[in-house]
Structure 1
Amino acid sequence: MDTKSMMIDISKKLFQQKGYIGVGLTEILKVGNFSKGSLYHHFPNGKEELLIACLQSMSEDMTNDIEDIFERYPTTIEATTAMIEQLMVNFELEGTISAYTFSSIISEMALLSDPVRNACSNLYIKMQRIYSNKLLVDGFSEESAKSIAVMMTASLEGAILLCLTQKTSNPLKVMVDVLPTLLSNKMEK
């Protein structure tokens, strides 16, 4: 792995664990054993540019994971249930779901930085597109599919945040129990 990729990987983990404000460049340099010159060679605009690269990498990883799950299951209900169950397993094993949420970073930076806000927004748009496309296959109208995709994204982000703050996977379990019923009811209308 090249130095730039290593910087992104290490920084992603640190930003996910401690948030943007909680991680200084000195810590990133120390953990990765990088020189300051190397960091500024790859990220001339410093920490915020590094954060944006991390967000783009996280977005790609998350989108690939979600697409993979949604391609393996024939319906939105089955795909969403499988995705949420995987998040619960990750939470139970690791005590966190850091790889699947931007919430902490967004709450710190979105009002301060349009480039960071845009990087986060792009991920949510990609997620909603995956959900919406699957809902279209399930027979939902385009308008309903887009609306439900927004609700699914917001619910999932909220459930993840609740899991992290409450230190339990129960909010995700509630989603697994309730979301299929909501989608089924919407399909019947």
Structure 2
Amino acid sequence: MDTKSLIIEVATKIFQEKGYMGVGLNEILKECNISKGSLYHHFPNGKEELLIACLHTLTEKITMDMKQIFKKHPTTEEAIKAMVNQLIIHFETEGTITSYTFTSIVSEMGSLSESVRNACSLLYTNIQKIYCDKLVEDGLSLETANSIALTMTASIEGGIMLCLTKKSSEPLREIANVLTKTSFNL
């Protein structure tokens, strides 16, 4: 793995665990075993530029994972069940779901930096589009699909946060039940 990729991988994990404000560059440098000069070589504008790179990398990973799941399943209902089940399994085996969200970073930084807010917005736009496209495939109108996709995005993101705070996968299980009972019986 090249140095830039290492920095992004390590920083993403630390930002997700501790938030942007809770992490100093020295901690990232130590975890990566690199010099400050090396970090600034790759990220001349410092910590915020690094955060944005982390958010873009995370967006690509999450979007790719979701697209693969949604391609494998013929209906939105089946795809949502499979995706939420994957989140639950990850939570139950790892004790966290941080690699699938950056809600904590959004709440901390979204109002402070327009560039960070835009990077975060991209992920949620991508997620909502994946849901919407599949719902349209299922026969829903674009307007209805957009509305349901927004609700699904908000529900699942909220469920992830509840799982983390309650240390239980039950919120995602319940959200999956409610989504599949209401969203797909229109």
- CA RMSD after TM alignment: 0.6
Give the Cα separation in 1 of the matches to 2:41 and 2:97: 31
Determine if the alignment matches structure 1 residue 73 to structure 2 residue 81: no
Determine if the alignment matches structure 1 residue 124 to structure 2 residue 124: yes
Partner of residue 7, structure 2: 7
Q: CA deviation at 1:175?
A: 1.5
Partner of residue 50, structure 1: 50
How do residues 133-148 of structure 1 correspond to structure 2 at under 5 angstroms? 133-148=133-148
How do residues 83-102 of structure 1 correspond to structure 2 at under 5 angstroms? 83-102=83-102
Partner of residue 17, structure 1: 17
Partner of residue 183, structure 2: 183
Give the Cα separation in 2 of the matches to 1:157 and 1:183: 16
What residue identity is the alignment partner of 2:155?
Answer: S
What residue identity is the alignment partner of 1:31?
Answer: E
> C-alpha offsets along residues 53-80 of structure 1, whole Å, 9 cap, x if unaligned?
0000000000000000000000000000
Partner of residue 155, structure 1: 155
TM-score (structure 1 length as normaliser):
0.97
Give the Cα separation in 1 of the matches to 2:184 and 2:65: 24
Q: CA deviation at 1:185?
A: 2.2
Q: CA deviation at 1:184?
A: 2.6
> C-alpha offsets along residues 25-65 of structure 1, whole Å, 9 cap, x if unaligned?
00000010011001111000000000000000000000000
Sequence identity percentage: 60
Give the Cα separation in 1 of the matches to 2:65 and 2:46: 29
TM-score (structure 2 length as normaliser):
0.99
Secondary structure in 1 matching 2:184 = helix
Query: Aligned residue pairs: how many?
Result: 186
Partner of residue 41, structure 2: 41
Q: CA deviation at 1:5?
A: 0.6
Q: Which runs of 5+ in 1 are unaligned?
A: none
Q: Which runs of 5+ in 2 are unaligned?
A: none
Q: CA deviation at 1:179?
A: 1.1
Q: CA deviation at 1:178?
A: 1.3
Secondary structure in 2 matching 1:74 = coil
